[in-house]
Structure 1
Amino acid sequence: MKEGDMIMTTLTKGLSGLAFFRAYPSYTRYWIANTISRIGDSIDSLAIMWMVLELTGSTLLMGTVMVCNMLPNILLGPFAGVLADRLNRKRLMIISDIARGLLVTVLAFLFMTDHLAVWMIFVVTALTSVFETAQQPARMAVRPSLVRTEDLITSNSMHSFGENAAQMIGLACAGAIIATLGIGGALLIDFLTFVISAFLISSIKIPSPTASDSQGSVLTVAQFFKDLGEGLNYVRSTRIIVICVILACLTNFFFGPINVLLPVFVKVNLNLDVTGLSQALLVQTVFMLLSSLMVGYIVRRIGERWALRSGLLLIAGGYALMYFAKSILAVIACISILGLGVPVASAGLHTIIQRNTPADKMGRVSAVMSTLVLAALPLSTAAAGYLGEVMPIPTLFGLLGLLLFICILLLTSNKTFRSRAVLGAIDQISTNEPYPQTDTEM
């Protein structure tokens, strides 16, 4: 049976579960590649943090490594979106995987031979982040092209499940891997995940997006910035996308500080050690996994707009309820509410963006959104660090959660957001039909 045959009988009702994966072999290989790569990323992040700690013992330098990893995403994200819409997306993903794999291998070799200096970690981390930044818009643009429009919801829910499962598996295994094989061995395992990911992506059939007027022309500097401007103008002129971007930025701004505040809250307010924090975060991940499995059904029942709104309200509500948390069980209950909301909001957000963005602009639109959302994080983290010194952390949790709750209600009460006309708009732009598929030349 051909890849498209199984879905031709379900034009109006989306697939789910194993039937979805059987119907879309190319998406399945993409999903496996992304999940394996994310497992490697989780192992890699802990290994590099441990490496810096072992070499220097400095928390300041550990923070510097995080900055080196974050800056390329913020500074280069929109430019990477242009490349994702201009260049061969499949080739871009494979090259990025191979480059990142080689970089972590170099880092492992230098560490195991005692030739590693701290500045080398910063350089390799920054370069690895550059290639990841180049790859991300291509991955985000490819995903909706591998399934039919009615299966975007399942595609996004499965993607969310894979990401959460990969993070949990990676973090759960990282400690044992580092203890058994050492930091160098952990980095070499990350290299293997990149190789597997590149191999799987090379076997994927990726439909070519509908060409814009500029595609096929020589990419000069002037044309590059013209393409970038087109992407920015499309985001700015499409009101539903503007609302989604603002919602995502505000959520990241208000919710981001929890990573800084929660450890302090657990230690200072609850008088617990890192074990209590680990338990809370593990429960959050479990609830995110459970929510990811249910999100396809939820979104089909209430629609992507209300899924986005409901998921964000769960996040804000769980956040605000932290004000009343007086025990680790109460913290776990609040974290569980957050964990339920994140996949639902994420699936709703991505489905709305995908339905309202032409295939040939998907890379630029997703890159602009990712850059703006990520840029909100260091701003909010710095503000939270200051506010945490001048007010009780439970009060700060309650205040940030309440402000986020109000912003969500205001933005999702907007006429544009409530209008049914915003749904399915992609059908007027692109049929989003992945069959018959034509594999782009490598």
Structure 2
Amino acid sequence: MPSVPRPPSFRRALAHRPFFLLWTSQLVSQSGDFIFDVALLWLVLQTTGSVFAVSLVVVATLIPVVLLGPVLGVYVDRWPRRTILLLTNLGEGVLVAALSGLVLTHQTGLTVIIVIVFALGVGGQFVRITSNAMVPQTVGTTDLGTANSLLSFSNSTTQVVGLSVGGVVVALFGVDLPITYDAITFFVAALIVMLMSPTIGRPEPTPAGTGPRFASQFSEGVRYVARQRFLVELIALGLVVNFAGNAVFALWAPYADLVLHGGAATYGLLGAMIAVGAIVGAIVIGKVDTRRTAGKLLFAGNAGVGALMIGLGVTRSIPLALAESFLIGVLLSVINIPLLTLVQAKVPSRLMGRVMSVLMGFILAAAPFGAYFAGSLASATSVGFVYVAAGGIVIATDAVGVVAMREVRNVTY
């Protein structure tokens, strides 16, 4: 008689000490990240008065994903993953502390901010790829979905607190305090990573014939992705959807200021409501067996997100915009958590870093162009028009995908 799979359990996932430490380190560092985001983009908007300048800073955070994302996975699979997390957190802490000093001495300019943000984007990409690759090494396959839900839950919880508190703190005390706090969280996260056993995240042996060279290891990851039809379809869909999505999120601060006529607190609350929705979505999806429905949830969720983007573009009501942001957050969890779990369950651990980096790099390749497009189009038209156009792009792409992308629609694990 076949064994019955154990139901998902948050408690069981957290009982794995390596995962608990990984989850805790992410919780701490992310609490500062979202406060930092509010402070930084508000600083740029208020000092330059330019929507286009804000979009340029967002582009700088996304360029590392495109330029380095597909190749970083080689090193994530080659180097000890615990060491990568430790050194990256320390490096990001030093960079943010330096920015805090520049703000205090009034030496920040747009060029300096873009350079620092680019470097932080490189570090952030390393952390995302490494932590995603480590999850299957810290819990069993049965608990993968629950573990990803917990990571999403903590990310969204810190986003709620960070964006809400960040908006208020910036309004009351300025931008330096939240930037300094972000630097501290990186150092604390590094200390938590040090508590992991050095055996966690060790690279697995390389098969004969691939060799230690970068080119052979990188091409092995690319070939694996190319042979998986559902991954190819996912990349094609994700390119367009992320182009449109980043067009929306790049203008979050100008949307709060120029469309809703709110201040820094409104800007923070919009992001916080997305995070609240993502928490609700993570709790719900973490209790659902999505092994046969991940693709269907992707298409249904994308259609809903596109409609809500259009809704944001036409509303001028802060409460309605907050409600629409909440629903976007719910749908993002419903889309992303099952897909991440699907990839982690199907990809061999020794290839996980490369496959994750290639997948993320290609899916997000259009994201900087989306942010640049948003700034340029909004300067010529309006922020609301950009939101409506972006929503229409998502819905149209999703409709094509439902018809043409059978593999990703029906994929199981």
TM-score range, shorter chain: 0.7 to 0.9
Alignment match of 1:75 (pick from 67, 73, 77): 67
Alignment match of 2:326 (pick from 336, 343, 352): 336
Alignment partner, residue 212 of structure 1: 206
Amino acid at match of 1:38: Q
Q: How does 1:299-378 map to 2 (within 5 A)?
A: 299-300=289-290, 303-322=293-312, 325=315, 327-378=317-368
Alignment partner, residue 239 of structure 2: 249
User: Residues 156 and 228 of structure 1: is their aligned pair in 2 closer, same or farther, counting only changes over 3 Å?
Assistant: same
Answering whether residue 392 of structure 2 is matched by residue 423 of structure 1, we say no
Q: How does 1:20-419 map to 2 (within 5 A)?
A: 20-22=13-15, 24-49=16-41, 57=48, 59=50, 63-112=55-104, 114=105, 116=107, 118=109, 120-175=112-167, 183-205=175-197, 206=200, 208=202, 210-213=204-207, 219=212, 223-259=213-249, 272-274=261-263, 280-300=270-290, 303-322=293-312, 325=315, 327-385=317-375, 387-388=377-378, 397-398=387-388, 400-413=390-403, 414-419=405-410
CA offsets per residue over residues 221-267 of structure 1, 9 Å max, x none?
Answer: xx112211221222122111112222222221222222356666677
Q: Aligned partners of 1:255, 1:201: CA distance in 2, in Å?
A: 32
Alignment partner, residue 18 of structure 1: 11
Q: Aligned partners of 2:41, 2:27: CA distance in 1, in Å?
A: 22
CA offsets per residue over residues 370-409 of structure 1, 9 Å max, x none?
Answer: 2223331222233344555777876765554344234324
Q: Aligned partners of 1:53, 1:162: CA distance in 2, in Å?
A: 28
CA offsets per residue over residues 155-194 of structure 1, 9 Å max, x none?
Answer: 1111111111112212223355557876554333223211
Tell me if the contact between 1:107 and 1:116 (Cα under 8 Å) persists in the aligned partners: no
Amino acid at match of 2:205: A
Amino acid at match of 1:46: V
Aligned to 2:74, the other structure's residue is in SS state helix
How many Å apart are 1:101 and its aligned residue? 1.3
Q: TM-score, normalised by structure 1?
A: 0.79
RMSD over aligned Cα, in angstroms? Answer: 3.4
Tell me if the contact between 1:313 and 1:341 (Cα under 8 Å) persists in the aligned partners: no
Aligned to 2:366, the other structure's residue is in SS state helix
Amino acid at match of 1:75: L
User: Residues 358 and 69 of structure 1: is their aligned pair in 2 closer, same or farther, counting only changes over 3 Å?
Assistant: same
How many Å apart are 1:283 and its aligned residue? 3.1
Say which one has the larger Rg: 1
CA offsets per residue over residues 7-52 of structure 1, 9 Å max, x none?
Answer: xxx9722432334312x22111111111111111122333444565
Task: Please list every run of 5 or more consecutive structure 1 residues that lacks an aligned counterpart in the other structure.
Answer: 1-9, 425-442
Q: Aligned partners of 1:48, 1:336: CA distance in 2, in Å?
A: 23
Tell me if the contact between 1:311 and 1:340 (Cα under 8 Å) persists in the aligned partners: no
Q: How many corresponding residue pairs?
A: 405
Matched residues, percent identical?
23
Tell me if the contact between 1:298 and 1:307 (Cα under 8 Å) persists in the aligned partners: no
Aligned to 2:121, the other structure's residue is in SS state helix
Q: Aligned partners of 1:181, 1:272: CA distance in 2, in Å?
A: 21
User: Residues 303 and 203 of structure 1: is their aligned pair in 2 closer, same or farther, counting only changes over 3 Å?
Assistant: farther
User: Residues 125 and 323 of structure 1: is their aligned pair in 2 closer, same or farther, counting only changes over 3 Å?
Assistant: closer
Amino acid at match of 1:241: L
Q: Aligned partners of 1:322, 1:295: CA distance in 2, in Å?
A: 25
Bigger relative contact order (CA 8 A; separation at least 6): 2
Deviates more, 1:370-379 or 1:344-353: 370-379
User: Residues 174 and 282 of structure 1: is their aligned pair in 2 closer, same or farther, counting only changes over 3 Å?
Assistant: closer
Tell me if the contact between 1:257 and 1:380 (Cα under 8 Å) persists in the aligned partners: yes
Deviates more, 1:236-245 or 1:117-126: 117-126
Tell me if the contact between 1:254 and 1:401 (Cα under 8 Å) persists in the aligned partners: yes
How many Å apart are 1:345 and its aligned residue? 0.3
Aligned to 2:365, the other structure's residue is in SS state helix
Q: TM-score, normalised by structure 2?
A: 0.83
User: Residues 214 and 192 of structure 1: is their aligned pair in 2 closer, same or farther, counting only changes over 3 Å?
Assistant: farther
Tell me if the contact between 1:308 and 1:347 (Cα under 8 Å) persists in the aligned partners: no
User: Residues 123 and 25 of structure 1: is their aligned pair in 2 closer, same or farther, counting only changes over 3 Å?
Assistant: same
Tell me if the contact between 2:92 and 2:186 (Cα under 8 Å) persists in the aligned partners: yes
Alignment partner, residue 4 of structure 1: none
Amino acid at match of 2:286: G
How many Å apart are 1:272 and its aligned residue? 3.9
How many Å apart are 1:142 and its aligned residue? 0.7
How many Å apart are 1:355 and its aligned residue? 2.1
Tell me if the contact between 1:291 and 1:343 (Cα under 8 Å) persists in the aligned partners: yes
Tell me if the contact between 1:152 and 1:351 (Cα under 8 Å) persists in the aligned partners: yes
Q: Aligned partners of 1:321, 1:67: CA distance in 2, in Å?
A: 25
Amino acid at match of 1:99: G
Alignment partner, residue 440 of structure 1: none
